[in-house]
Chain A
Amino acid sequence: MQQLNWTALSIFVLLFGFVAWLGFAAGRWRKGDLDQLHEWGLGGRRFGTVITWFLVGGDLYTAYTFIAVPALAFGAGALAFFAVPYTIVIYPILFLVFPRIWRVAHKHNYITAADFVRGRFGNRWLALAVAVTGIIATMPYIALQVVGLQVMIGALGVQGQGLMAVIPLLVSFAILAAFDYSSGLRAPAAIAIVKDLLIYLTAFAAVIVVPIELGGYAKIFAAVAPEKLILAVPGPNTIGAYGSYATLALGSALALFIYPHSMTAILSASSGHAIRRNATILPLYSLMLGFLALIGFMALAAGVDKMPEYAQGFKTYGTNFAVPALLLHSFPSWFVGVTFAGIGIGALVPAAIMSIASANLYTRNIHREFIRPDCTPKQEAQMAKWMSLVVKAGALAFILLVPTQYAIQLQLLGGIWIIQTAPAVLLGAFTRWFNDWALLVGWAVGTALGTWMAVSVNFASVYPLSIGGYGLPGYSALYTVILNLALATALTPIFRRVSAQQPVDETARADYVV
């Protein structure tokens, strides 16, 4: 049985306390009228290059990522490294598309992707589809941040029965909810700085210290089973593991920035130029993620899963315990506290941004659009603040009441769902050619087929597609969004002929120029 690690716990609590104070204090940072939705929910669009770097980095590279990617390497080997090409390919997308979206959003006071789609295509139902997809895809993502926090608290040796077991989690989330409510996006922006510095410290310490302890990288990789060291070479008539690897990377990359939390963090930048600069400096996080993936192999080489003191952890959390176990095994207690706090706070930052983003979507694109069109800006901001609490409570209840496996499966489905909004959002930044109803049909078919694909292979992300006897196993999100786009393209001329009247595009060409 694992003992309570007092030194690590004290440092963990101390850093959490500091961050909580910072979250409340952040409300007065670059002061704005928090009764306006764009002030509460986008930090007044005032974050320069450096703050945006911390905020987007803290937002996209989540605690769950830091636990799950090494866990996948630990279990499945080379396949987990798709996270690296994935986080390389996202930056050209960020560079090319998002300065344009930032510009048009700034001009028309758009807060969400659905706001943009509403203005661009003039169809409230298409905007509703984008908003609902965003909210539903984000909820399980928040829930997984709770899982990340749970693993770290558990690894500190904090255990209990019944209600006692969940109190640390409830307290962390209550604090998070409170500073989110009072400070809005400024809170995670301030906290992200602390979190990122701690995570960098963790990653580079692990990459340098652990290999020395284990006798070099050659020994670490020798511990990996040969068939997992690189991808399996495909047999005849199939693209095999190569297909899975590349489509997972590309599909995840296309989906990433249209997630509501990414959109929120990007739109809070102070200019399109700040976003472009970030496309060149954010890859430092990808480098760190790549090194962190190697921690999975280090855990294999150290053999932490066979050590009796960690048996309970592996039993409770599965391979997700590989990272905390390795850190506990390799570092003195005080430093374990620092690293665990980094990952734990790493759960709070994205959870905060995700709940703000969902709240923005609900308020702007459902509440104001369909329920209370006449609400004042102050009522709008107040509604969003309440919604951010509801969303967090929902995610927490989900994790405490249903098996974690469901959250993981839903998050997988979330990736398939969110990518279906790519034609309207990403291509919408460049062209108004598509018919709004054609986009909606493409979205509906892509969503339905993608869901069916994932369910039919028991929630694996890779679908064994086969055309004319040739195997094309790949990420179902990518395959279904291609179909979605093809449908929208084919239906656009037809729909345009049927209905003479096109809805008005309230944006002008010049609104997009960076």
Chain B
Amino acid sequence: MYKNCSRREWLLRTAAVLPGAWLAGSRLGRAAGAPALPVAVARCRTYDAGELVPALSRMFDQLGGLGRLVSGRTVGIKINLTGETTYRLGYAPLEDTHYTHPAVIAATVHLLGRAGARRIRVLESAWSTAEPVEEVVLRANWEPRDILGAAPNVEFENTNYLGSARKYARLMVPTGGYLYPGFDLNHSYADCDVFVSLAKMKEHATAGITLSMKNCFGLTPATIYGSGAGVDEPSVLPNGGREMVHSGYRQPSRSAPAEKDAKSPRDGGYRVPRTIVDLVGARPIHLAIVEAVRTMTGGEGPWVPGGTLVSPGVIVAGLNPVNTDAVCMGVMGFDPMADRGTPPFENCDSTLRLAEDAGLGTRDLRRIEVAGTPIVQARFDFAGLRRARRANAVRQSG
């Protein structure tokens, strides 16, 4: 009877006949019941608006249209500007390797505006600074007006500190959280009706991959979760990175919710994926967009050795971040059902598995409807490059 199905399939089938009350509370039950929403995949070879805007527009239509999601609403878009603006992979512009490309941001803003968004707020916790995001992107050699002018009522906010509000917004994790029961964040993450994660498709040194969910690691203000955070109260200005969250060497400012268990593992491979899932639980993502027209392999930024510039020419978007990231992993040549010990999670837990267990969305590609370009046709073999890189490293060390 079970010869022709995998253990996982068997478990899922078996789950259908298990008592509902027990199932609802179990990991298996939550995974089986985790949402599965459509994900759109598109080939896009360049950042030219002439190719990019129609591609994104078509993808949003495949997801049911942006209008019903954003019309008359305030939209917060978390972009990815990881690391200092002065750090490039070779001579390559930041947006070609590890920053969300400004053309994709502008195109998304344009389409959100066209769909009736009342106000569009482009958000990022810029590295170790309270400078306005407009100034930060100038240092990256971008023209902020290209984004600000892409739709009416567009503004930036640097969420790495208190920003324009009088107090931090407390967002709690509905399930109680793996590591943190809640977070104190810049008001922008509470003051939006629709939240978009607009990420770059990359591998990640600590979390294996960085996609729409990992992008939310940067929600945390360094004034509370950074190396220079105040002990009792948030510092006024952000200083340093989030090593505190990675290694757990200290707690956030006492004014914010403390870790649930200060004796839990202090290993980044354990902590970072759980923190990401807690953040995505506290601040749900309504629209996940992951771009890889151009990106880098080998890590999340040029500080990770061995990275190379690549041109996968693909964009993925979905209404559920776990589903979207699962499709991204498929595009990258990884198995989204992989767990710790299997690439790209050789040394960490799978953020996707943890998110699925938390009931945030399924990572099972069989349950996810993919619109547009099939995964196999969009594939860019990050996994193969990773294997080759690691084999080469072993050879060199041997």
Q: Do A and B come from one complex?
A: no
Residues of A within 8 A of B (CB): none
